[in-house]
Structure 1
Amino acid sequence: MYCKRLKNFQSHHQDSHPTCKKQHSRFERACQSDKCDPSHNLTTDDHLITTDSTQTEGSSTKPPTQTRSKEGHTWHENLEILIPNDLLPYVTEDPVYINKTQERKKGKHYPPGHKQWFEAIKIRKFYHERSIAREQYEKELSARAKLWGTSTNSIEYREGMVKDLTKFQEYYHEKISKLTDNVKRTQSRVTTKDGKQLEHATQ
């Protein structure tokens, strides 16, 4: 190793020492055998720096945004949930209580988007559609009763009686038609047989 001496806390090399001379000569030979191109190293370093800066700029992450669109669904701005389009007309911002008791007390209710919350909306839709279907049926029933000249309470009974009578008449005509056809065939055979016998007797 280099021989050093300290003077006022400063390092001083003793280049005149034999060991120092040998080490210096070995260092010179090593540099000559493995020459380095400073410009090449500088270019490589610059390339690395440029690449790193590009990756840093391109790798900037954005905060994930919440999905507000889904096929067959609509985003409700106030409730902040996705709602199926068929249930959307029946959704209100009023709380959906867990039972009638809690509804009277204005107590516990399902949070919007909860499974039971959606079930309650489906039930609301079912009763609404059934009510509409009932109103439509009553209108049609009233029109039929007016046509038959009766009330809505007895129209279904009268229509049932007419259907039964129609089926009986169809059954009657079916059976009677078969009987009359059989009679006609029998008379035809008898007439033909009598004619042949009469013709044979006259000969």
Structure 2
Amino acid sequence: MGERSRSFITPLAVLLVLSLGGFVLRVHSRAQATAGGRTVGQISAQERAATFTFDPGVPPADREAFLSAVARARPEAQALIGAIDGLVDVHIAQTAAGTVGTTQSVGDRYNVSVNLGIVSRRYGQRGIDRTVLHELGHVVDFALVPEALDTQLDAAIPQGYGCDSQNSGGCASATERFAESFAKWATGDIGVDLYLGYKVPPPDDLAAWGAPLAKLAGS
């Protein structure tokens, strides 16, 4: 089981790697994320028809907050998430210090854990939307996006500034750059005054950046 680091750091302390000033999230590399033998783009009809599997201990209000984040995403992003949500096991739990979410591959499935409590207290539903869609962006990337398209999309994302904690800004990985940009595209929110993320500047035109993803959603 691998893990790609995705971190959102809080403005109060640089606890891990991440952020626009916010927290830190973790992720796995593409090789690790597809380690269960799943080929990118190959999702069965049964898996596509399924939806998120929530940990039985997730309270109804937390489940609703998570699903509301998906429901507020642009239709094309919802379509992409609808293709992969049957592969996702959702956990609402306390995460490691300085982190608000993690995505891990387990076999041919994906564990997404988010700390809705700390995000909600600091940023409300707006922060929940960014966190949930960032994490799901990783799953979309790992499960659906071909390598060539990843390269094309990354080339259209401005390079970050600085190199905080060796994991954000100019040092953010391509996978984090994708997840950050996916969340911004999905919400239409570039994150002004929202201190969550990797200091990855948004594409100049979010709609144009996401056009290939919209096409992928319709295929």
**For the superposition of Structure 1 and Structure 2, which TM-score range results when normalised by the shorter chain?**
under 0.3
In the superposition, the TM-score normalised over structure 2's length comes to: 0.19
TM-score when normalising by structure 1: 0.20
Greater gyration radius: 1
Higher relative contact order (Cα pairs below 8 Å, separated by 6+ residues): 2
**Larger helix percent:** 1
